[in-house]
Amino acid sequence: MSRTLVVAGNGMVGHRLVETLRAGDPGGTWRVVVHAEENRAAYDRVALSSYVDTWDPARLTLAGSDYAGDELVELRLGDPVTGIDTERRTIVTAGGERPYDALVLATGSRPFVPPVPGHDLPGCFVYRTIEDLDAIRAAAERARAVNGRPAAMVVGGGLLGLEAAKALRDMGLSPHVVEMAPRLMPLQVDEGGGALLRRLVAELDVTVHAGTSTEEISTDGERMLARLGNGTELDVDLVVFSAGVRPRDELARAGGLAVAERGGVLVDGACRTSAADVYAIGECAAVEGRCYGLVAPGYSMAELVATRLLGGRDTFPGADLSTKLKLLGVDVASFGDAHATTEGALEVVFNDAMSGTYKKLVVSENGTGSATLLGGVLVGDVGDYDLLRPLVGRKLPAEPAAILAPSDGGGVGVEALPDAAQICSCNAVTKGAITGAILTEGCDTVGKLRSCTRAGTGCGSCVPMLSKLLDSCGVEQSTAVCEHFGQSRAELFEIIQATRIGTFSELISRYGTGQGCAICKPAVASILATLGNGHILGGEQATLQDTNDRFLANMQRNGTYSVVPRVPGGEITPDRLMVIARVAQDFGLYTKITGGQRIDLFGATVDQLPHIWKRLVEAGMESGHAYGKALRTVKSCVGSTWCRYGVQDSVGMAIELELRYRGLRSPHKIKAGVSGCARECAEARGKDFGVIATENGWNLYVGGNGGMLPRHAELLVSDVDDEKLIRIIDRFLMFYVRTADRLQRTASWIEELEGGLDHLRAVIVDDSLGICEDLEAAMAKHVENYTDEWRGVLEDPEKLERFASFVNAPGAPDPSISFRTEREQRVPVLLGVPEVVSR
């Protein structure tokens, strides 16, 4: 019979405990009951600031946190443990008492709010949960309705404070950050790094007040007045306290458990409390008197306790307090003894204020000319973090100065790391474990390594190291398009552009082998189309296309096709709406408004497509390329034309961009959005490129997408005017089209670029390769040569012959296609699929 484990708390650490225990207990030794304080399953609190990008809490939910289908885990949401009796081995909740065989306290921490007069006024918030951000958002919207662009104050300039400042800025507020220490992030960076960090943050519309405190907060009409210790007075609309956290140990105190001198449930190296069979993990636990405020040590505690519950004898291995973050767009990292507190420690510093780079290594001299790495601080450029952090406590492979500023562009290589070096701190995966998986388990891709070792499945910062380890183990990561071409897609693009080859047959005869396949043919067809090689159904090109491109429409599951006319920016006249309505009515098509602000017409047979297109083209509409690897839509909000919050004409910009880039054939589909203000109604940061209006112009974000692996776009440039915005997007799209792999979205393309977003910015903004003029010329050629593909078919009798259900009986209906009526529209009848009753 299963024993009962009660888990008090359902945060990230509590979830990791349950996840680890269930994975190691297939026989069901333990039945787990999880009591959650919040009314939602465990979510990624580390990524809380990203909630502002979508306001979709589901994006933060941890995989498997609802424990659906696991009969041995019971999740009680909104039912926290309120009392414990360790002698009777019972807990108390709103539902009464219940017994336990083992109890784990995973109650986390609470925000620390300094006892400042006025801290409890309406308009004062903490920054800890999804509900906190919802409340801040509501207050910001109220303030914006009154004051236009409201201001906010963040009390605390540490990690959480800068995260809060970013969230407030993304909501359209002007943040002030107040920090008592003389610099931002005082626990992580030193004076030199803090000075650069402050300058970089200030350039991003965040005002920093360091070396002072908040003395008082009072109401001032509809706003608030914050008086600082240095005499400064700030008129703000809301205040966010993000000045650190305190362990939630009140449950343990009330139950008579021992607590640490400075708070936290006192536990030993096995995470055991002073009561039998009661454990504490995460931020509420004080391991031998010390609390840890990072998720990685919490995960280690969770896995340790899971092992102990199953009979193991593990002890807490200590905590890696290294951090690598992007705060307000600024990269910051620290590791080991960052402040040189070790006796005899020496500091080696590289500070380049012009490029915005600060690097410091803390070392101890070994007496033989070599140095042992003790720690370091990186601001602005954190590219060496993944290689340096595992070397802490080990001899450096080169002189510290040469590592910080290598004259040959080299530095520390992955080969210098010992097998015991920890590559993934979230899941405690060593280099030896990863190379073992490569050499003995046959893991030859990053994806396989993540599945096998769990490295890279936490924060993801170690993923680039996985690729480097594959290379170091001699695993060649092929970039070939397919078995018929040894070249990558980018190399084929360069070949076709340089040789002016115009057909697939000539290309494969000169540079490939065999007859080609369903992989290389559409890829080459896309390149030929990008380089202006005529209509995609012209001549040999027609045979290269996949199913959708072959008929310029999306095939549906019953063999019919959908038609999607272009609606630039979502703006459409009543006359054209009526044409779409009449076409749908006359041809009996199912109609649906898409998520990209267009109207989709479903159920057209192949022979009907030209007739439908003709009606739409005559009304001034054209192909929306819903079938192609090309620009799909540029979604927009109504912008400053209608919205009281709008600061720029987002509709006009969306239309200009969509008409400019329509028909651009690319490695994968491209989606875009333009929002007229920071409220982000067009969801621009979930697009391949997204534009958000500011009072000074436009911010451009790149590399976002939805789908199976959602990504948020990252800021490329800010506050640019119309001309510069379009010029940079021209360069971005053409550089992507030329260099991305087959079927590679912009998000993964940027992720795999050597140097990532920084390299991309250097190439297309700073013109580091000297190719921007060429990229702009290529886009200008595309714009000049654009023609509508639907019209191209209608004007060519030879192409029209392709659109018949049966070659020997043109116009005959396809007997395999039938429909039924649901919600007053025709939907397909599918063989073998039971009919659904209309609702």
Q: Residue 583 sits in a domain of what CATH number?
A: 3.30.413.10
**Are 592 and 733 part of one and the same domain?**
yes
Residues in contact with 27: Cβ distance below 8 Å, sequence separation at least 6, in sequence order? none
The span from the first CA to the last CA of the chain, in angstroms, equals 46
**Are 591 and 680 part of one and the same domain?**
yes
**Are 260 and 144 part of one and the same domain?**
no
**Are 218 and 161 part of one and the same domain?**
yes
Segment holding 760, helix H or strand E: helix 756-764
**Are 538 and 681 part of one and the same domain?**
no
Residues in contact with 315: Cβ distance below 8 Å, sequence separation at least 6, in sequence order? 269, 270, 304
**Are 226 and 260 part of one and the same domain?**
no
**Are 563 and 535 part of one and the same domain?**
no
Which residue numbers belong to the known binding site for siroheme? 681
Range of the domain at 96: 3-110+247-309
**Are 596 and 530 part of one and the same domain?**
no
Domain count, the chain: 4
| pLDDT score, position 36 | 93
| pLDDT score, position 478 | 66
Q: Is 373 part of a structural domain of the chain? A: no
Q: Which parts of the chain sit beneath pLDDT 70? A: 147-148, 326-329, 354, 366-370, 405-413, 416, 425-426, 447, 457-461, 464, 477-478, 557-558, 707-709, 805-817, 829-839
**Are 229 and 150 part of one and the same domain?**
yes
Task: Please give the radius of gyration of the chain, using alpha carbons only, rounded to the nearest integer.
Answer: 30
Distances (CA, A) of 495 to 113, 490, 498, 738: 62, 9, 5, 11
Which residue numbers belong to the known binding site for [4Fe-4S] cluster? 637, 643, 677, 681
**Are 237 and 141 part of one and the same domain?**
yes
Query: pLDDT tens-digit profile of 747-779?
Result: 889 988 888 898 999 999 999 999 999 999 999
Query: pLDDT tens-digit profile of 565-621?
Result: 998 888 888 899 999 999 989 998 888 887 788 899 988 888 899 999 999 999 999
**Are 104 and 130 part of one and the same domain?**
no
Whose CA is closest to 107, among 241, 2, 245, 310?
245
Distances (CA, A) of 360 to 181, 422, 838: 20, 21, 67
Which residue numbers belong to the known binding site? 637, 643, 677, 681
665 burial via Cβ count (<10 Å: 0-12, 13-18, 19+): buried
The CATH number of the domain holding residue 136 is: 3.50.50.60
With the CA atoms of 329, 331, 333 and 339 taken in that order, what torsion angle do they form, in degrees rounded to the nearest 10? Answer: -90
